[in-house]
Chain A
Amino acid sequence: MNWPLEAFLSFLAAGAFGIIFNIPRKTLISCGLVGMSGWLVYRSYFLLFDDPIQATFAGAFIVAIVAHILAKTFKMPMIIFSVAGIIPLVPGSRAYNAMRNIVENDYMEAVDFAVQALMISGAIAMGLVFAEVIMQLYFKYQARRTQKKMGFTQE
């Protein structure tokens, strides 16, 4: 696997999707970075453990975490950064293969691909959910710490 090439291509693809979704111009580069980190984590997990579902979960998780951090820094909604990063993880080739096998009347093969595509979509959703929960817990903890430092203790 050619790491610099894949990094560059995923960066470019995520930036291009940023243009399609019309995100603010100054966030285009950070959006590309989100896409790149998600894709690299997905690929390296896939090459290490050979499980596309877990790899997609890891990729979506990283995309959402990075997007949350960037959203805090830019003070902008989080979806601006996460949409473009999610796209490379979408199981396009599996859905396509499922469709092609249905057309060729090979239903056993089609169901196999379709179930994989469904599981991967679920993994994307779970990755987003986990990252959201963890980031909310972290922000709550941080807010309580700053409140304590400034002397307003609620409890």
Chain B
Amino acid sequence: MAEISEVRRELALDCFLLAGKVMMESGAETYRVEDTMIRMAVSQNMMDSHCFVTPAGIMFSPSNDLPTRFVRIHGRRTDLERVARVNAVSRRLVAGQLTLQQAYEEMTEIEKNHYLFPLWLQVLAAAVASACFLILMGGGWADIPFAFLIGGIGFYIVETVLVKTRVKFFAEFIGAVAIGTLAVLVVYSGFGNDPDTIIIGSVMPLVPGLLITNAVRDMMAGHFVSGLSMGAEAFLTAFAIGAGIAIVLSF
């Protein structure tokens, strides 16, 4: 194994941990983060490195006699474009198309930016998805405008409450209460026909789809800590939505 100078080794460690942090914060699966970091390490001649990733932090040990580094992961927010970009940079580093310095610069660039679609487009997408699900779940055509509006409003409320309070379950709960109230009001005032399908369609954009897929894939890869914690988060989110709807229906 070639001797690596200390400066270069620190740069390499910074680079791997940054890549892992960005991927974990943007909603990648745990096993993919570990796999990416180990591949990058092997490409930099760190053959016996170990890596342990959880949704809350990343531990990375370059070898037996070097100190282990740790990064804490704070907020997580779904931004799959960032995952794809970090993945592309790491592929190019492993293939030798980028030097370590260039890879590190690209990683910091990705970390600084976010590639989210503008909020109005996300709200519009949620509204369109709600309207589509209304028909797919067997609702009537007359209810389409209500599902479109209520789905968009519900998603917007969840996003704003999430920014204000930083508590995800509370935001989902408030969003579900708003969706339920609006749907019942629309039907009660005689415009809408069927509150059930309107609620089901409008709630769809809040469903924790990414958490479900990640939990299943992590459990399969043997990462039970992350798999169970993501599964618990998915379950709690679903429970928050259900509780919000139930409160409205009980009146």
Contact = CB atoms under 8 A, between A and B. Distances in A.
Interface of A: 5-6, 9-10, 12-13, 15-17, 19-25, 27, 39, 75-77, 79-80, 82-84, 86-88, 90, 92-93, 95-97, 99-100, 102-103, 121, 124-125, 128-129, 132
B199 interface: yes
A141 to B, nearest CB: 20
Contact of B209 (A12, A27, A87): A87
16 contacts: A20-B78, A21-B27, A21-B80, A22-B116, A39-B136, A79-B32, A79-B80, A80-B84, A83-B80, A86-B212, A88-B133, A100-B246, A102-B246, A121-B212, A128-B213, A128-B217
Interface of A, helix, strand, loop or mixed by DSSP? helix
Given A79-B28, A99-B249, A16 B200 contact: no
A26 B249 CA distance: 41
A129 B125 contact: no
Contact of A16 (B125, B137, B209): B125
Interface in B95-118: 115-117
Nearest to A9: B132
A92 B155 CA distance: 16
A76 B203 CA distance: 29
Contacts of B87: 76-77
B233 interface: no
B213 A75 contact: no
Contacts of A100: 196, 245-246, 249
Interface in B193-211: 196-197, 199-200, 203-205, 207, 209-210
A73 B232 CA distance: 33
Interface string B202-246: 011101011011101100100000000000000000100010011
Given A22-B81, A124-B212, A125-B212, 12 more contacts: A13-B129, A16-B128, A16-B129, A19-B125, A23-B81, A83-B209, A92-B137, A96-B200, A96-B245, A128-B220, A129-B216, A132-B220
A22 B80 contact: yes
A22 B213 contact: no
Contacts of B132: 9-10, 12-13, 16
B91 interface: yes
